[in-house]
Structure 1
Amino acid sequence: MENKTSKYFKYAIGEILLVVIGILIAVQINSWNEHRKSKSNEIKTLTQLNIDLKSNYDEIVEMTEFLSQRNQDGEKILKHLSSNNQVSDSLKYWVESFSSGNIFNNANTTYKNLENSNENLISNDSIRLKITLIYEGDFANIHRREKMVYEEYFPNYKRELLKNFKTSPVMDKWLENQTLEVNTPINLDDLKQNEAYKNVAVELLNFRLLRLRWLNQTIERLEALIKTIDEEIEHLNQ
């Protein structure tokens, strides 16, 4: 009887051990699957985020080129007004160019999804912080400065522009023999002496120079962040 009890006891312990081992293996497999799923989601999120960041990078580079060209044309206007030159098609073009603006279309869908998610989709704290700083710092500042341009600098400049330039075509006959006088000074000699127009033009030009400096700093930070995310994706894929 004692021998049978001992065998039964050993058998029971063996059964328990098998059950425990089975549970541990199941937990480990489940944990591994969850980790693999989490890792796959993180790679997908970082990949999509870098697509957005690269789109923003390209647009900001275009913005710097656009603003640089606008400022070059603004400098040509001021130079023209300080010379003995008369009205030319080039002057009309420069005025049109200098008076135009652009808007930053922030690609932020992936970032918004990250903000609204209850999961920690990006495990690297440093990368997550840098992403937040780009969107909440750099990109938000770009929008704020655009608002300043359109609410402060442009209205001041446009007011003087309307006082000193013709802003619509003059028709000799309806749809016939058009004489386009858009952006033609009403009186060039008076305009050359008009410090109010020159002052608002210089203010707009100088603020654009500041924006260019800030945009170039953002470009540098974006380049570094995109590279860091690419390296993180490569690391997670290993």
Structure 2
Amino acid sequence: MEKNKTGKYFKYAIGEIVLVVIGILIALSINNWNENRKLHNVELSLLLEVKSNLEDTLNSFKNDTLINRNSILQFRKIEHYIDEDLPYNTELNTAFGWIGDWQSPYPITTAYTTLKTKGLDIISNLPLRNKIVSMYEFELIILINDYDKGEWSNLQAFNPFIYKHISSRNSKQAAAPNDFESLKINKQFSNILGRIISQREAGLFFYKEAMISIEELIKHLDKELIFRK
């Protein structure tokens, strides 16, 4: 009888252990599911933020290109007056006011900064992750380094001449040459104007390339967000 009781108790103990192990495994599984769900929600939230930042950046870049393109038209107007040897007209005040001024690219990177802090591997879609990294670590950097730094370099080089020969007016972005007739035959001024136009036109190209890439990345983000919902 004692042996039978011992056998039953042993089987009961084994059963209890099995139930405890199963309970632990179920709890771990639920916990893992919850953690994965949390990571999933964080990932989708970050992707939405990245998309929002890119949309705002795209709108900002579109505005920048409109303004920079207009500045080129203004500088071409000065060239026209010089080429045709026309007398000064106050319509050139705006054009001269734009010399030494331009729209710099300011991409919004708050979401990407957060993403790097949390770890880039939180983005489970590897090709999408690589596209996001390429955008912020390469393509936008090209726009800033190859275009905007060139504008700043021109400004530093040309400022002494500009301050000497061109005076600001009271209204915003208005200026006029101290002596337009002498400026028309000044080769240094012609070279400066040509350099500014060339740099600004290069900027439009870099802006265009960046905007195309941003639009494509936004489309990829849209697909991912729709698929993951």
Q: How many correspondences in the alignment?
A: 224
SS of the aligned residue for 1:120 comes to helix
Task: State the secondary structure of the residue aligned to 1:89.
Answer: coil
| Aligned residue number for residue 215 of structure 1 | 207
Map of 1:68 onto structure 2: 69
Cα separation, 2, equivalents of 1:134 and 1:23: 44
- Do structure 1's residue 26 and structure 2's residue 27 form an aligned pair? yes
Q: 1:193 to 1:46 in 2, by over 3 A?
A: same
**Whole-Å Cα distance in 1 between the matches of residues 46 and 176 of structure 2?**
52
- Compute the displacement of 1:14 (Å): 2.6
Secondary structure of 1:115's match? helix
Summarize the alignment of residues 179-194 of structure 1 with structure 2, pairs less than 5 Å apart: 183-194=175-186
Residues 1:119 and 1:199: Cα distance change in structure 2 (over 3 Å): closer
* Contact 1:157/1:201 (<8 A) preserved: no
Map of 1:7-46 to 2, 5 A cutoff?
7-46=8-47
d(CA) in 1 for partners of 2:178 and 2:42?
A: 63
Determine the structure 1 residue equivalent to 2:124: 123
Distance 1:98 1:119, change over 3 A: closer
Q: Over residues 155-204 of structure 1, what are the superposed CA-to-partner deviations in whole Å (9 max), with x where a residue is unaligned?
A: 334333334333356xxxxxxxxxxxx63333333222222111111111
Pairwise CA distance, 1:6: 4.5
Consecutive unaligned residues of structure 1, counting only runs of 5 or more, are 170-181
- Alpha-carbon distance, 1:19 to partner: 1.8
Q: Name the amino acid aligned to 2:114.
A: N
Range moving further from structure 2, 70-79 or 83-92: 83-92
Equivalent-residue separation in structure 1 for 2:15 and 2:128 (angstroms): 49
Which residue type is aligned with residue 206 of structure 1? Answer: S
Distance 1:16 1:188 in 2: 97
Unaligned runs of 5+ in 2: none
Offset of residue 4 of structure 1: 4.2
- Does the CA contact (< 8 Å) of 1:73 and 1:98 recur in 2? no
How large is the Cα RMSD of the aligned pairs?
Answer: 2.2
- Code of the residue aligned with 1:210 in structure 2: it is A
Give per-residue Cα distances to partners, 1:10-60, cap 9 Å, x unaligned: 433332322222122111111111111110111111111211111111111
What's the offset of the Cα at 1:118? 4.8
Superposition TM-score, scaled by structure 1 size: 0.84
Paired position in structure 2 for 1:198: 190
1:96 paired residue number = 97
Give the match's secondary structure for 2:222.
helix
Residues 1:79 and 1:56: Cα distance change in structure 2 (over 3 Å): same
Give the alignment of 1:35-184 within 5 angstroms: 35-118=36-119, 120-144=121-145, 145-150=147-152, 152-168=153-169, 183-184=175-176
Counterpart residue number, 1:173: none
